Amino acid sequence: QVQLVESGGGLVQPGGSLRLSCGSSEFALDLYAIGWFRQGPGKEREGISCISSDLRGSTYYSDAMKGRFTTSRSNAKNLVYLHIDSLKSEDTAVYYCAALQWGLCPLSENDYTYWGQGTQVTVSS
């Protein structure tokens, strides 16, 4: 079973930037489509981005997340990143990564096979 681990969360001031990482010690993540999601307090989980398992690493962003979110891969480090710019209080949430082997974006939340435990991001002054 693929074990996914998110890291990089924490307390950030409004306007700041953050880079979250999604990694696995067991499998090569370049074989998987990786999606990023978040769930804010009292809210449903929402999709942010998806990066495909194809060689191009094609990316997809939900309409609401275009502009401040960037996802990328480091195959050498076996990591997938989510970079968030211009953080706002409404970005406060638990951020999750999810994986689907040989997945091609876009994907729905139910398509993903594996999920991480999430990392908390709190945006506050």
- Give me the mean pLDDT over the 99-115 stretch: 93
Strand-strand pairing, 119-123 and 10-12: parallel
Say if residue 34's pLDDT is above 80. yes
Q: Which two tokens stand for residue 36?
A: 């990023």
Average pLDDT of the chain is 94
Q: Answer whether residue 2 shows pLDDT above 70.
A: no
Q: Is the pLDDT of residue 79 over 90?
A: yes
Q: Distances in Å between the alpha carbon of 118 and those of 21, 32, 45? A: 10, 18, 12
